[in-house]
Amino acid sequence: MKDSTNTKQLVLIVDEATAETAQLIKVLGDYQIKAELRADNEEAYSYCVQHPPALLICEIKQENIDGIALLQRLREHNLTKSLPVVIAARVPELEERLKILHLDIDDFISKPYYPEEVAVRVDTILQELERHMGSSQREHGFTGNLEDMNLMDLIQTLELGGKSAIIHMMREPEEGHVYVLRGEVVDASLRDLGAEEALQNLMMWLHGHFDLNMLTFQRPRQINKSTRDLLVSGSQRIHAYKERANQLPPMDSVLARGGNEGLETLSDLERQIWALLSKPQPLRILISACRKDELRVLEAVQELLARGVIVSRAGSADSPDILTQNIMMRVSHAKEINKDPYSRIASFFKRGNGEKKKPSLMNEIPPVENQLTGPAAITQKIHLQRGDLLLIRQRLLSQ
């Protein structure tokens, strides 16, 4: 049971006061979602910036309502730029619907609607927001290698699309997280580093794996720089990191203690590296074990190597730890899928076996008959005849 007095569960409806909206408010109440109605742009805007609701349901065009203008203003305000918005409007024409595609919204519902359906959608969005508050549960996303797509690429992609996601990064023997909300990096975690330093270090991870989960979440903003600024400084650091790394042995090479001369002159970081090398270990592991800014660690390692305090040895270190084994297992599993091209094709034949999965974002869509002779109310303009299809076919063949 949700707490209806909790402002996080308050939904603001920007629409005219009609029987339809009254019914919607009533049904939302059945879902323990408190809803308020505003029938004027200015009133709605003031309300949102003073008491940001959990979600906004907005009409596009009514007498005192201009949904697009309201949305633009809300996106410009710090408190409301991430506010989830559902557009509910009567937009039968394709051209109008296309305009809606250009808006930065979370969902779209055609009017007339079933209040029950709207309530389910709103409830689903609110539940997702709650569930993903600090959670890393997967909704939609993808995984990959940082060699192919590093954190900078991922952030840039999310920024361009204004998307929200939690990026889980894995590099032997460490893991880190980056939180991106509507294209803005809001937080990052790695070792004991502060958010911005964690992000800067994660940006320099050019090998390893990532797991990107597309989801909306609530998390206090710890990084205040714009994504653009972060990307610029990140690219500068990557450049510096690569230059430094080029002057060092490969990351997998094993480092060990060298001579004992000059130990008394070592800096704190250099002394830490010396202490960590009581047992030889790969440069990659050493960098992680220092739990410091990686660029500084590389500088210190380079200095120690130059002075002969530490040396590089050929060969590999001990057997992989549990995390490494886990990652290797995942990669091996992914490769397994693609071994036999014919089994790939065959796997499509197998769809339909077992229970069909409903992605949470799509729960609300009922099964639809997309027939050429479908309901005229929906497919008035899409009612192509066989001759039309033949014409399109002919056009493509003649190109």
* Segment 303 to 322, residues that bind another protein, using CB under 8 A: none
Nearer to another protein, 36 or 117 (CB): 117
What single-letter DSSP state applies at residue 325?
H
For another protein, the binding residues in 337-356 under the rule CB under 8 A are 337-338, 341, 344-345, 347-349, 351-352, 356
For another protein, the binding residues in 28-67 under the rule CB under 8 A are none
Decide if residue 328 touches another protein (CB under 8 A): no
Stretch that binds another protein, among 10-18, 246-254, 307-315, 379-387 (CB under 8 A): 379-387
Decide if residue 279 touches another protein (CB under 8 A): no
Question: Is the distance from CB of 67 to CB of 59 less than 8 angstroms?
Answer: yes
For another protein, the binding residues in 76-115 under the rule CB under 8 A are 94-95, 97-98, 100-110
Strand order in the sheet with 209-214: 140-145, 209-214, 165-171, 174-181, 184-189
Stretch that binds another protein, among 58-66, 248-256, 317-325, 361-369 (CB under 8 A): 361-369
The full DSSP string for 114-128 is -HHHHHHHHHHHHHH
Decide if residue 278 touches another protein (CB under 8 A): no
Question: Is the distance from CB of 248 to CB of 298 less than 8 angstroms?
Answer: yes
Residue in 136, 312, 324, 379 binding another protein, rule: CB under 8 A: 379
CA distance 115 to 122: 10
Name the pairing type of β-strands 209-214 and 310-313. unpaired
Decide if residue 291 touches another protein (CB under 8 A): no
Decide if residue 384 touches another protein (CB under 8 A): yes
Q: Least distance (Å) from another protein to the CB of residue 367?
A: 5
- For residue 256, what is the enclosing H or E element? strand 254-257
Decide if residue 329 touches another protein (CB under 8 A): no
Question: Is the distance from CB of 48 to CB of 23 less than 8 angstroms?
Answer: no
Question: Is the distance from CB of 37 to CB of 21 less than 8 angstroms?
Answer: yes
Q: What are the φ/ψ torsions at residue 207 (nearest 5 degrees)?
A: -140, 160
Decide if residue 153 touches another protein (CB under 8 A): no
CA distance 325 to 319: 9
Stretch that binds another protein, among 9-17, 155-163, 193-201, 283-291 (CB under 8 A): 155-163
Question: Is the distance from CB of 57 to CB of 11 less than 8 angstroms?
Answer: yes
3-state secondary structure of 54: coil
For another protein, the binding residues in 123-152 under the rule CB under 8 A are 139-144
Residue in 112, 192, 335, 376 binding another protein, rule: CB under 8 A: 335
Q: Least distance (Å) from another protein to the CB of residue 180?
A: 14
For another protein, the binding residues in 162-221 under the rule CB under 8 A are 162-163, 214
